[in-house]
Amino acid sequence: MTGGLLALAINVVVSGLFAAVFLLIARSHPAFRHLGWIAAAWGVGTGAPAAEVLLRVTPWTTVLSFTGYACFSAGAHLLAHGLARHYRRTLPRWLLPASFAASLIIRLAIWGGERNTMPYELYYQLPFVTALAISGVIVWHARRRSVWDAILAGCLWLFTLTFASKPVAAILLGSGATARDYASSHYAIYSQAASGLIALGCGIALMAVVIRDLRVRLKRDLVTDAPTGLPNRRGFLAGLQTRMDTAPAGDLLIVCETGWQAAPHDRITALRRALPPTALLGRIDPQRLAVLLPGETDPDRSAIVRGMIRDLSGAGHDGSLGEVRLAAGEDAAAALARAEGSLFLDAELRKGRRGPSPQP
C-alpha cells in the first residue's frame, strides 16, 4: 500500500468515527438534534477519500472522481450549516445551496482540463476554500470567549489555508496524470496527510466545544422547568438563597396554586414583564408558582402582581396565595415552606367562607 492510499484509508476511518460520535450526541439530547447536520458532514465527507481508494481498484473512474469531489463539497457545506445552527448564526438561505451548486458546476466546467496547471488546480480547490472559510467566519464571529472556540476557529482557518495552498503543491509535487494515478503521487501524501491532521484537530476542537455546551445545558436542565423555561424548585431555591444571603430582610415571597394542565405562556410572559427587574419567578411544582418581590416594591405594583398571579389559576382553583416576609438569617427552604403553609391556610379559609360543598 502506497503512502497516499494509507493516508486516504486513515481519513476514511477518522471521518467515520467523528460522524458516529456526533450522531450519538445528536440522538442523546433534544437540544442537540442539530448536531445531526455535523454528523452528516463527516459521514458524507467520508465519501471523498473512500472514492479515491476505490478509483485504484474499479473501472468507474468518471463516476468515482465526480462522486468524491461532490462528497467533500457537500460535507464542507453541511459542516457550515451545522456550525451555524450550533452557534445560532443566521445565514442567507440561498448561500450554502448556491455555493454547493456552484462547486458542482465548476467541477463540470474544468472536467477534462489539464491537471497540475494553476487554472485547473485553482478552480478545483476554490469551492472547498469558500465553504471552509464560511465555517471559519461563523465560529470566529460567534465565539463565546472560550479557548476551545478560538482553537476551533483557528483550525478552520488553517484548514482553509491548506486548501488554498494545494494548487501550488499540486504543481510542485505533481498530482498524477489522471485521477487514477492520484493515490500514488507525492501530492496525495501531502494533501491527505495535511488535510487529515487538520481535520482531526477540527474534530477534536468541535467535540470539546460540544461537550462543554452539553454540560452547560445539562446543568441548566437540572434547575429549569422545561415547559415554561422558569426555574424549577431547585433553581428557585438556589436563587432565593442567594438573594437572602445578599439582600436585607423584608422581601415578599408569594406562592400560588395554579392547577394548570398546560402552562399559559402568554400570561407567564405578561407576568414576567410586570415584575420588577430584581424579582424572582419560578415554577416550583407542576401546578404551583413562586414569586419573590423585593421589599422596596411599590404597593400598587405588588397589588397588580398579586392580581396577575391569581389570574394564572386554572379552572377549579380560587387563586389562593401564600405570602410571607423573609426574615434575617432564614434558610431559603424554610422560607418557602412557610409560604406554602400560608398558601394552605389561605385555601382553607377560602373554603370556609364558601361553606361546605353541596352533596349530590
The pLDDT tens digits for 267-283 are 778 778 878 888 888 88
Return the pLDDT at 326.
83
**Separation of alpha carbons 12 and 47, rounded Å:** 8
pTM of the predicted structure, to 2 decimals:
0.75
Question: Last residue of some domain: 222, 241, 273?
Answer: 222
Q: Is residue 359 part of a domain?
A: no
**Separation of alpha carbons 16 and 46, rounded Å:** 6
- Say yes or no: 67 and 112 in one domain: yes
CATH number at residue 145: 1.20.1070
Return the pLDDT at 100.
96
Mean pLDDT of 310-327: 69
Confidence grade of residue 105 (pLDDT, cut at 50, 70, 90):
very high
- Say yes or no: 55 and 170 in one domain: yes
Q: Is residue 360 part of a domain?
A: no
Q: Is residue 323 part of a domain?
A: yes
Return the pLDDT at 133.
95
Q: Is residue 182 part of a domain?
A: yes
CATH number at residue 337: 3.30.70.270
- Say yes or no: 94 and 138 in one domain: yes
Q: Which residues pair with 290 in a beta bridge?
A: 255, 282
Per mean pLDDT, which range of 74-78, 120-124, 129-133, 240-244 is the poorest?
Answer: 240-244
Q: Is residue 167 part of a domain?
A: yes
Q: Is residue 228 part of a domain?
A: no
Q: Is the CB of residue 281 less than 8 Å from the CB of residue 270?
A: no
pLDDT of residue 80 exceeding 90, the answer is yes
Return the pLDDT at 313.
63
Q: Is the CB of residue 251 less than 8 Å from the CB of residue 336?
A: no
Mean pLDDT of 69-90: 94
- Say yes or no: 251 and 127 in one domain: no
- Say yes or no: 82 and 14 in one domain: yes
- The DSSP secondary-structure symbol of 356 reads S
Confidence grade of residue 257 (pLDDT, cut at 50, 70, 90):
confident
Per mean pLDDT, which range of 19-28, 281-290, 296-305 is the poorest?
Answer: 296-305
pLDDT of residue 358 exceeding 50, the answer is no
The grid coordinates listed for 355 are 361553606
280-285/288-293 β-pairing: antiparallel
- Say yes or no: 96 and 177 in one domain: yes
The grid coordinates listed for 205 are 476542537
Question: Last residue of some domain: 166, 192, 222?
Answer: 222
- Say yes or no: 237 and 211 in one domain: no
- Say yes or no: 34 and 72 in one domain: yes
pLDDT of residue 184 exceeding 90, the answer is no
pLDDT of residue 355 exceeding 50, the answer is no
pLDDT of residue 315 exceeding 60, the answer is no
- The DSSP secondary-structure symbol of 232 reads -
Q: Total structural domains in the chain?
A: 2
pLDDT in tens, 129-172: 999 999 999 999 876 668 889 999 999 999 999 999 999 988 88
Confidence grade of residue 4 (pLDDT, cut at 50, 70, 90):
low
Which is more confidently placed, 207 or 62?
207
The grid coordinates listed for 26 are 445528536
Q: Is residue 209 part of a domain?
A: yes
Question: Last residue of some domain: 159, 188, 222?
Answer: 222
Return the pLDDT at 354.
47
Q: Is residue 227 part of a domain?
A: no
Q: Burial letters for 199-221: b for 16+ Cβ neighbours within 10 Å, e otherwise?
A: bbbbbebbbbbbeebbeeeeeee
Return the pLDDT at 353.
52
Return the pLDDT at 350.
65
- The DSSP secondary-structure symbol of 335 reads H
Mean residue pLDDT of the chain comes to: 83
Percent of the chain past pLDDT 70, that is, above it, reads 86
- Say yes or no: 263 and 155 in one domain: no
Q: Which of 162, 129, 146, 44 is nearest to 86 (CA)?
A: 146
- Say yes or no: 218 and 237 in one domain: no
φ, ψ at 274 (rounded to 5°): -80, -20
- Say yes or no: 249 and 342 in one domain: yes
- Say yes or no: 98 and 149 in one domain: yes
Domain that holds residue 19: 3-222
